[in-house]
Structure 1
């Protein structure tokens, strides 16, 4: 190939420049060097091996964990004129033979396969005498037992470095802490690989955390603040809750559907396809839904329940705003979720694994309870830093009021002590507020010195104080005894008046959704034109049998609706419009743009 990677980027994919450090990664891989890449979801990982595949002789073998993900990426590549196919169990016998024939004929640029298919003896034998451009291992954290999504079938991929010592290998993931990174490097034999950590910040995502009170009402209020039809994902802890929330959303007039591993394969496929094609607004799902989603225009992710670790939270929220446009991630944080998650972890038998998982859960709780910039907390977990507050999270947008809570904290700690350190938070709050019920009277707790000393404050406020005392280490929960509150040694100084304590007042209001995040100012688009272009995109996508974002992303349509090009040269200047797509779709999009400029109402899609 005579063109350079920059020219390929523009001609094939329609982008004018690389993001850091894409160009350096691509040049190293083209030169035949191994590479290990950690890059946030939506950061452009795929281009790091797709462009080298077009510059090196032979076929690039791409390892991908899910059939649906392979199909989306192949559809997108084919829409850009790239010779790509996937080889998996979803193919008919005739299609499978056709793909293998293309592989042997050398007419493929990229072939996507599952790890177990690639590492089968029969498939490895096929590859022995073929020209292979490179191996790309996507979602590489699946190879590590310390990763949040370990998959045993990925472990065998470590043989590739021995079987094909001269073929460059690139491993890519969006989420990996230092221990997971080292494990990936060792298991895949990448000790000599160049390692790139491309930054974890996604400034277009607004991180919001609010205390869970009436979660469905909070969810419905959040959804009512969105633009009509905006797609999003709601993650819930259990299959039962997924079903309940989805049903209630449908009853509320929202196009929603459940997705979890307990559904039939056909039903899951139908839900995913409808979501990909913008025919479904909300998918309510367990973590079974996610890795296979390559949809670029997801505008929000809601966690109805607390994730078990920051890696999962980061990856799941990263499914929003892959097109770079503003998106939101809302976490409904309930203290009961912590006890449930800890209980599930404690039921495990591997003590070392339990220790790691409890550490990760505590870090997740720390993020949710933070009263400082959430982005700084999130990035800090991955070893990155931000030297200023982000201005695009709930803490930055609406800083909590701080107040001297020494006296209130002493009351709460004293009450825990007076009830014998044998009760949970709900009972302690009842005693503080002077509740008159049978349980308190039968226990004699209505005669304690702390009974009723906090009746001037709401139960919510007392709950917030006690949660912060737990988070700050003055109280601990004995999970073996149904979340009983107990004093720690740190409580002594506070009870004796030897120190002061400043806490944050709880906030129950929802932070208003603002559509522009830090350093992310959109060009003003004509909303009517955008919707007309969106309708055309949907029709073309349906005709081609692909998701709408495969035709053009929302970001590309937004730029079209802002720049309003009226000729081929102007359309080609829009980011995301390559030469192949210009030839395939240009005429119809230009017709809509020209008619709109002339004041002609767009035809209904």
Structure 2
């Protein structure tokens, strides 16, 4: 990386607001252009090097070019739009359904003195009004917002009053009506892009095959986008599949699940179930054995779901048992294991859900409890999704009966997959137009006629997609191929990094999971299990590591602990024991903001935990 002057980069960024190149001196112009250099920007936020794909994405945004970024969870997508946003005197709009993630990013940027605001449901009208005022009068250069805000004309007008330089759309796969995470509010975004003067657009997603990526680009109207695919690999996750057959398979599944959760007691875990009934049953069984488990599914009342989510996010509950209704918008970085009670509907859905483990970069595991009986459920699911052209005509007739005189009506966003597929097919066939409506509902404008040939073609596409997804997830669940390699091949990724731990049960059969036939669900011990320090640290360094974790809890002040420093950073501090700020700043994960805010505290803590005489640090400990 090119050497940059940290003070110069900081000064340049602070002076960007209202910068006019035509009125600048040569020195000011050099300073301004230096601040738009990717390496200068990177140094300003405390990073030493770009991850794969980040530099290309940042350069595209700085040049005003659209980009579609496909990066794994934890791959650094946010940096791709944050750096260009910090380098611009104009407005950057970031759209995401991940409220907790947006709040975390805003706290970090605002804490470093950057002009950023967040506008989202649940923040309160007064806070949202204040944030919008800061956007209007130019005090904010980056605004984070949830997609439903674009239903408000006043909100859109406030953004349009500023010159918008960049619009970043996170979780961009939500615009796909065929996808498992479709969100109607995303349908507003193409019009919003045009209303804001057609700025450069960065669309980001972690799980998109080439087909889905093409649909994202088409739906959002991306123009000649740079495609950045940095890979899908999550090397810190080990992938295990345990097959269950015959009588008593549910009891054996439960015994294995209970054992696996017990081994990692006091660490967060998610258990995904295919049905609401299984969700309730598994949660009840785990609670009966003493687990701090809660259930979460779409059939619960909103306040019940909110309570379950809060208990899990706060640590009051260690396990959440959920349908796929749980996950989008959840950013709990220290989930150590994700379990699937049954085979999911697609490899994409599986990888999205499994990827919620280990977002902090620490080792984690994903375990799929698969049975051939699950395939029968998936076959029935696909049969229900298979729609004949005649059924589309009948569906449209039903809508016409309910529609107003102009052929329009507002409906709930279909939760039933069959209805969702019928509506998507009808739109693809040109027989209706679908737009978002307030409250997460849909405005449907029904046309006069249905073209039989277009309807038949759309039905074939839907059927083919469903059965391709079935064959892919069946192959993944029962083949003897490396699980990681199978997943990467599915997404067209030929690259695979070295796993940080175990790869999968195929490459390393020693899963640490016992034979389910030898297990039974037992009551948990009442005594809590304490976390163990990393094995490579000496006893004295491990003691310092634990002291640093205790200090981190206080420094976090109620926020997630990883927002202060990750475990790996604390391990490196404990192993290298820096004695001055320069040495502390050379540790990976430590940036200028950390040094300013916490540097002296950490050095004092290190100084108070001396090593016994003659003991030397472990030279294998990474120091960044």
TM over 0.5: yes
**Do 2:312 and 2:318's aligned partners in 1 also have CA atoms closer than 8 Å?**
yes
Partner Cα distance (1:253, 1:583) in 2: 44
Partner Cα distance (2:102, 2:295) in 1: 22
1:196–1:244 CA distance, 2 compared to 1 (3 A): same
Deviation, structure 1 residue 278: 4.1
Structure 2 gap ranges (5+): 1-12, 14-30, 388-421, 423-458, 519-533, 613-624
Tell me if 1:225 matches 2:263.
yes
1:288–1:73 CA distance, 2 compared to 1 (3 A): farther
Deviation, structure 1 residue 522: 9.6
Deviation, structure 1 residue 140: 0.4
1:267–1:562 CA distance, 2 compared to 1 (3 A): farther
Where in structure 2 are the equivalents of 1:26-41 lying within 5 Å?
26-41=58-73
**Do 1:276 and 1:547's aligned partners in 2 also have CA atoms closer than 8 Å?**
no
**Do 1:277 and 1:546's aligned partners in 2 also have CA atoms closer than 8 Å?**
no
Deviation, structure 1 residue 66: 4.1
Q: What is the CA RMSD across the aligned residues, in angstroms? A: 2.8
Worse-matched range after superposition: 135-144 or 558-567: 558-567
Tell me if 1:9 matches 2:42.
yes
Corresponding residue for residue 370 of structure 1: 479
Corresponding residue for residue 379 of structure 1: 488
Where in structure 2 are the equivalents of 1:368-517 lying within 5 Å?
368-386=477-495, 392-398=503-509
In the alignment, which of 180, 183, 205 is matched to residue 215 of structure 2? 183
Partner Cα distance (2:154, 2:343) in 1: 44
Deviations 1:431-477 (A, max 9, x none): xxxxxxxxxxxxxxxxxxxxxxxxxxxxxxxxxxxxxxxxxxxxxxx
In the alignment, which of 75, 91, 94 is matched to residue 59 of structure 1? 91
Where in structure 2 are the equivalents of 1:271-310 lying within 5 Å?
271-310=308-347
Tell me if 1:22 matches 2:43.
no
Deviation, structure 1 residue 362: 2.0
Corresponding residue for residue 117 of structure 1: 149
Deviation, structure 1 residue 211: 1.2
Corresponding residue for residue 574 of structure 2: 561
* TM-score normalised per structure 2: 0.71
Tell me if 1:358 matches 2:467.
yes
Worse-matched range after superposition: 321-330 or 199-208: 321-330
Structure 1 gap ranges (5+): 401-506, 511-520, 600-605
1:377–1:399 CA distance, 2 compared to 1 (3 A): farther
Secondary structure of the 1:171 match is: strand
Give the number of the structure whose alpha-carbon radius of gyration is greater.
Answer: 1
**Do 1:389 and 1:396's aligned partners in 2 also have CA atoms closer than 8 Å?**
no
Partner Cα distance (1:273, 1:576) in 2: 29
Partner Cα distance (2:535, 2:236) in 1: 11
Partner Cα distance (1:46, 1:388) in 2: 22
Corresponding residue for residue 156 of structure 1: 188
Partner Cα distance (1:128, 1:387) in 2: 43
Corresponding residue for residue 540 of structure 1: 555
In the alignment, which of 331, 339, 346 is matched to residue 376 of structure 2? 339
Worse-matched range after superposition: 193-202 or 234-243: 234-243
Partner Cα distance (1:275, 1:239) in 2: 18
Partner Cα distance (1:288, 1:551) in 2: 30
Deviations 1:356-394 (A, max 9, x none): 123212211110111021111111111122589977111
Secondary structure of the 1:396 match is: coil
Secondary structure of the 2:345 match is: coil
Partner Cα distance (1:297, 1:527) in 2: 20
Partner Cα distance (1:69, 1:288) in 2: 18
Partner Cα distance (2:152, 2:236) in 1: 41
Deviation, structure 1 residue 99: 0.6
Partner Cα distance (1:340, 1:392) in 2: 29
Corresponding pairs, count: 480
1:361–1:555 CA distance, 2 compared to 1 (3 A): farther
**Do 2:256 and 2:516's aligned partners in 1 also have CA atoms closer than 8 Å?**
no
Deviation, structure 1 residue 166: 4.9
Tell me if 1:168 matches 2:200.
yes
Secondary structure of the 1:331 match is: strand
1:388–1:318 CA distance, 2 compared to 1 (3 A): closer
Partner Cα distance (2:196, 2:128) in 1: 24
Tell me if 1:572 matches 2:585.
yes
